[in-house]
A and B are shown apart, each in its own frame.
Chain A
Amino acid sequence: MTAEITTEKARIGAPSIAGFTEEGEGLVSAKVDHSHNHGVTVMSSRAERLTSFDVADFALPTGREEEWRFSPVRGLANLLSDTATDVDPEPAAAFTVDAPEGYVRSTLSQGAAPRGTVLTPADRAAVVASANTDEALHLVIPAEAEPAEPLRILVHGAGAGRRSNAHFVLEAGANSRSVVIVEHTGAADHNGNLEVIVGEGAKLTVISVQLWEDDAKHLGQHDAQVGKDAVYKHIAVSLGGSIVRLNSNVRFSGEGAEAELLGLYYADAGQHLEHRSFVDHNEPNCKSNVLYKGALQGKNAHTVWVGDVLIQKQALGTDSYEKNQNLVLTDGCRADSVPNLEIETGLIEGAGHASSTGRFDDEHLFYLMARGIPEEVARRLVVRGFLNEIIQQIKVPALEERLTEAVERELAATNS
């Protein structure tokens, strides 16, 4: 392969939404960093990223670090400090688990397997959450089980600015089929890790829903290991909170597995919603698909998506694709979108990426209104259509309905 850095831009633009620009118009930024193992390295490999259980290994970020450069670190001091959960007068967050009998096991202390076998903290936030969670919730879906209803973990913050740490361990037994919803409401400074082990042939969907109140802050690392022939789907839905930053990472422990990392976010004025995904193709013949879609409205609404895909040398026959699309509804927003693709073998089925950020502007509105459609309906039509691609992947009707309503409420705020 020869180095053709100049073609990268064209490649990344190719499958984007027609009419959308890759880089927006001044108020929108989109950046592309990646290398294709052709001798040109724009940045260091994702594989070299530090992971550790030792808090001392992660200095407090300044905002200049690659993995923190888009985040408002000044607003995260409480969450990044090595601090225990605030339990006075009650814990900063209440956890409620709704699962069939026997699924909830004894909690896991530090170092008690399977805790720590899949998730090793990859940044300051994750390491302090891990270090400050003595007992981790352990939820096991037995092999072959197919619970009729989704399992639920409700995280309800007791008050803004109150520090909460959590670590959940979720195991889906071989050939089980299940959906797990982790729902966040209320307000807190919540630092939550989720460790997921998907057994052979299992099918697991994890939906992390952020319906926080306006003054909540939430950092999290969600790591999954997907077994042979298993199918894992992770959907992050972030609507509430003042700062949300979630890392959804996946790797494989056998061939023939599939991973889908999806996301939907809707940022209002002053809101920072950041999603990072990392697919580590460390096994041959696995498939991955990453799709994050976001809408932005209001002054200083800021969204970030950083999608890393690493196709390791041994991962022959990999088929991967990642895409991020943003829809900017008003002036004054900023959408950062960075796909990073590293490929260490040419013997793959496919590896693609796309990123586009477009505006819903007066011309779109005029076109729809010129066909008799009132302004509010036109706006709804566009945003709903845009975000529906993710919502319809949830396949839990009651939750889809709630999220559709939540999106409608966000939309109603556009005009106020």
Chain B
Amino acid sequence: MTSTADTLRIATRPHAGNATELIDGDVHNIVPDTQALFPYLSEHWREHITNTLFKGAPETSYPRWAPTTERPGSELPNWRPAGSDLSVIKRDVLDADGLSFAVLCCTYAIDSLHNPDAAVALARAVNDWQIAEWLDKDERLRATVVVPTQLPAEAAREIDRVGCHPGFVQVGLPVRSSVPYGSRLHAPLWEAISRNSLVGAIHFGGAPGTPPTPSGWPSYYLEEHVGMAQVFQTQVVSLVTEGVFDLHPDLRVVLLEAGVTWMGPFLWRFDKEWRNLRRLVPWVKRAPSAYVRDHIRLTIQPVDAPPSDVHLRQAIEQIGSDEMLVYASDYPHRHASEPSRVLSVVTESHAARIRSANARALWRLA
């Protein structure tokens, strides 16, 4: 292995984007109900779902009643979930924002299914549904491969099955996992992501069966929601420490809905502790912050922003790179912050990177 020290892993293409182009890095396409997947399921699973109480994966990370789940105006008639209608997404996101690309992130909770055969069958169905009903219908769309992350070998098989489709640009990894993603248990997953030149998309939520906080089960959804930033930090520490980027020097990872302002201080701590403890992991040859800046990107919705623009600008500068942030609306989820606020406090050239150039480099959009 050669040193990775002087190669920027996610090189921004010089021709990429322009000042006005906008790419949305996190738009949710929601499976409306299990029946929508029937055309993509085998006779066995159609009959099983029809005749039993099994109704597929629940949306545990985004409770329907929660005001964070559906923003005003995104609601659909007949209790269909927001984000499940392409025509509405076209009208309210793609066209309204004048997007050149939108990266869809389907968060169908395959990871909550304990029956491995059901998990595999439903993941395949969701991906075929995405190809037929989303990617084939609008060339501005890119999508996320949904995989059973709890079964890394099966996940790898599914990535190899559909990863070559030009519409898929990343693999969805719910940030809540039963074991951190850097663990060697997940080696087949990263090998498949790397083999297919896809992005590892670590996303808010997940239902692995383990508590959503490292200290056990909280009582309220608010606790889980706020605490998710800690879980993202756990995954970043794991990926760097357990050498995933040393094994896969070209690997790209994006954190979706992670928040961004924690990153700077987090890297200070990570670098500091690495100096103390690096003998445990000699393959971590550079400061963790260098790995993160080379390999990891973050979408800017939500942004946990201080009230002062000056402080927000400082928090963004503390991240230490203008190549790490990627614009996202997180449609149809609702946050009290607006991504436009980030764009308004950074320099014009940085804003242009956030709006499109960083996304083009991350997902190799062309």
A binds B: no
